């Protein structure tokens, strides 16, 4: 039974992971063939994350 008072907890990391998985599923379903590693990195914005980590 859920506690009374609306104490909803959001796990922002889990929500971000779910969003990325969804984006991968969409990309894979739109692709004619398997996604290359480069395509997967592009969907997951790996280069952007690396660039922001270097700053």
Closest CA to 27 of 45, 47, 48, 52: 45
36: left (phi over 0), alpha (psi -120 to 50) or beta: beta
What pLDDT digit, counting tens, does each position of 7-37 carry? 667 889 999 999 999 999 999 999 999 999 9
Intra-chain end-to-end CA distance of the chain, in Å: 46
Domain ranges of the chain: 12-54
Supply the pLDDT for residue 23. 96
Confidence check: pLDDT of 1 > 60: no
> What pLDDT is recorded for position 53?
85
- Three-state SS for 46? helix
DSSP state of 11: -
- SS3 of residue 2 by DSSP: coil
């Amino acid at each position: 039974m859920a506690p009374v008072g609306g104490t909803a907890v959001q796990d922002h990391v889990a929500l971000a992971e779910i969003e990325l998985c969804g984006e991968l599923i969409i990309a894979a379903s739109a692709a004619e063939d398997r996604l290359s590693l480069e395509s997967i990195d592009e969907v997951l914005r790996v280069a952007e994350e690396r660039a922001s980590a270097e700053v």
